[in-house]
Structure 1
């Protein structure tokens, strides 16, 4: 199987697998326990926290571990809501965020919070001016993703941050950016959400950076500074951090390799009649295109039969019959067209790209015959 779905999840790196396996076998102590096994687990946990803090130039107290990027997004939004100065308050986000943000916004609307959803342009980019113009006296939160998980568009986070009042909590969903883009393009926000399996770590663990004082969201034994209680997944956390360190160490090398493959992929797609690239080149890993005259499910099935794994959009919407909210916000015509998201990784090759282009041509030509 040729894997072109890294934006959904990455295969775990060997370093991450080795780290996780060793701790599953020998590091099974509860980090809150006082005996030797507990202390060893605690040392491993805090060592991982220190590594993350050093990667991002933060103090260890600014690094929390979560169960996912979704959980990190929820913590940021719901904590900001609890900390708001005026009730019911106002938040700003974009119309093309991940459901982890949009569902929180919808939940807060039911509590009386006014929510402004900023629409992107046709290339999937929101204007910083539109975000800043929407700020009100009672605005407590602005939440904008760094890299769109469906089409790969990059958002002007630095311009947004520069124009925001200090009183407004600025949250960034960096799930598709962490380990792939320079930290200084997203990690300056008040809170930042990341997910381990997007940069070759395990599923079920995430990283949450915070420069804000937060209110508890998950109550219990007081782990993770009392913000997110619950016994920590030490093997998963340590494996995730090893994967992140590796991703950061080889980020430029990977970006050059993947960028080279993506350039050829986009060039080849543009040459196929009936295929339209959705946005100009943005994030080097993600390419989105629309294929005329075929349904998404049929296209993905035909590609799967030929040994190619990719998606029709966000992994969280897989199997959903509804249209993509991202493409809808961008004004993309989705009638009788199949969306196709290809996200490449460090292990992919040029031969695989060429094989995919040939397979897609075969499917489209077969459909017309």
Structure 2
């Protein structure tokens, strides 16, 4: 199939591009590089051995999107292009609603104009909010606690209404849990601009000496070791979940929301311990007060993905940390 990845040079988009290209799909990428790097494209082409058409542009540029959809005879869009910092979304909500919600509407309008009606949307487990029960299944009430989560939920609702209005659409909203890890080549991984918001890239920057220590926000939660527990999933498992969702759209119409997680929570200390084993060094850490809005524990019920997509996460926490360390280690060896 001919597939357009919006935000395709980002962390999850780039790994998905590798999986799709390896399956023989033709991948086209559009990315505005606001939280990604142009060099990722060259690394993708090294990994895949294929030339990947790339457009530097914004998902809110309807004319550009129409041209790409038309020129490359796109059959399905996987929509990764979204801002994702919880803290920034609270500080600048209009920026997030403009990019994440308005950008999605522009994309949908372009797709409608060009007759492309297969869409996989990059959503998030943040749509669930405070757990009323665990694990979260897809029927759990939706009450996001922050602006970022609300933008994801709004797009999900727009897409659900769209599918009701036009039964020709096939839409899958994939609710990610906590993706970490990197491609086994070490050529692509998570490389956010500025100080990372997520735990794994923060650990990587501490180990590489860019940051002095890791902040552990709370060690007095009612969890096995007092630190927050999360459903970490290897980014390659997540990428393979998108390939499975793509296959699903070929024989399914309508709207579906599907969790992509392992169904098992790991603590902050679990992650630190595994990464110390990968890097063969200790990670300096400082315990801080809990952050407002952080949940003690959450994790997925992933049965729906197994039943509908024939997919489940299979890589363990040590594999996630080993691949992240391999990527970070290669970054530090690259001549400046």
TM-score computed with the length of structure 1 as normaliser: 0.30
Between 1 and 2, higher relative CO (CA 8 Å, sep ≥ 6) is seen in 1
TM-score computed with the length of structure 2 as normaliser: 0.32
Structure possessing the higher radius of gyration over alpha carbons: 1
